[in-house]
Amino acid sequence: MPRKSKKKAASKSMTVDIIRRFASNKTAMAAFVFLILVALVAIFADVIVDYNVSITQNITERFKAPGKAHILGTDAFGRDVLARIIHGSRISLLIGLGTTSVSLIIACILGSAAAYYGNMVDNVIMRCIDVLISIPSILLTICLVSILGSNAFNLGVALMIGQIPSFTKIVRSTVLNVKGSDYIEAARACGSSDARIIATHILPNALGPIIVQGTMNISGAILTASGLSFIGLGCQPPAPEWGVMLSEAKEKMLMYPYLAIIPGIAIVLTALGFNLMGDGLRDALDPKLKD
């Protein structure tokens, strides 16, 4: 069998093995299915219910208890809670997935460059990262939002910057374990450029821990975004964001507890789903757990 065919067969076998072990984890699979459903709701939110229903005030319908007309009731402004939950899923997933993806891309560039080139490049990049990581990420995010202004975009930028330091350290340590491998030396001997070696040989073989950490960080980003929106430093009313919904419900939660319980459950279940899926990915990608 040609060498390339053997390599493809081995790669395919490894991928199948990872998928099989992930699928055998019932908790991780349940979380995965739940997150797929949440993603579908977010994608087709406008098809399920019109966005205007979630933001248009109707005082005559305020504080309606859950029923046939409004399955999850209405809030203090007569807005349908279910419609706000549905459209809020889009905001939360965009913030969680978007900020984590962009920060991972930047961290992969910085971390792989620091590990691959070493010396001065490593010192400059990692000393800058050390400065950023010495500031608690939540404090850094709050400071950046306060400077940039309170809205969804600035919140996303602040969360992205806050995630880069920890991701960069993970990427650097992972790449350091891979760069000394024989196939990297073989790629250099074949005349491959540094960028090609990093992109096609190093990063693909270091993606396991990076993907797991990224998955778990999504839940952290969603929780942080909801928390900052709750205190007025994130998304602003009347945006149907789950943290905003909790903030608006806090004054009436004793009389109308469903206004706080429903968005709270949405936040907890989504964050828990990403954490459980991250645990499943870690177990599936860990070669020590092969049976």
pLDDT at 138: 87
| pLDDT value for 179 | 76
List Cβ neighbours of 220 (8 Å cut-off, separation of 6 or more).
Answer: 271
- CB of 148 closer than 8 Å to CB of 161: no
User: 207-230 and 137-148 helices cross at what angle (nearest 10)?
Assistant: 60
Whether the Cβ atoms of residue 128 and residue 210 lie closer than 8 Å to each other: no
Q: How much is the pLDDT for 101? A: 92
Q: Which residue has the tokens 């507890």?
A: 257
Q: Which domains does the chain have, with CATH numbers?
A: 14-289 (1.10.3720.10)
* 204 Cβ neighbours under 8 A, 6+ residues apart: none
One digit per residue, the tens of pLDDT, for the chain of length 291 reads 455 554 555 456 667 777 888 888 899 999 999 999 999 999 999 999 988 888 888 888 888 888 888 889 888 888 999 999 999 999 999 999 999 999 999 998 898 888 888 889 889 999 999 998 888 888 888 998 988 888 889 999 999 998 999 889 988 888 888 777 777 777 777 777 777 777 777 777 777 788 888 888 899 999 999 999 998 888 888 889 999 999 999 888 888 999 999 999 999 999 999 999 988 888 887 655 544
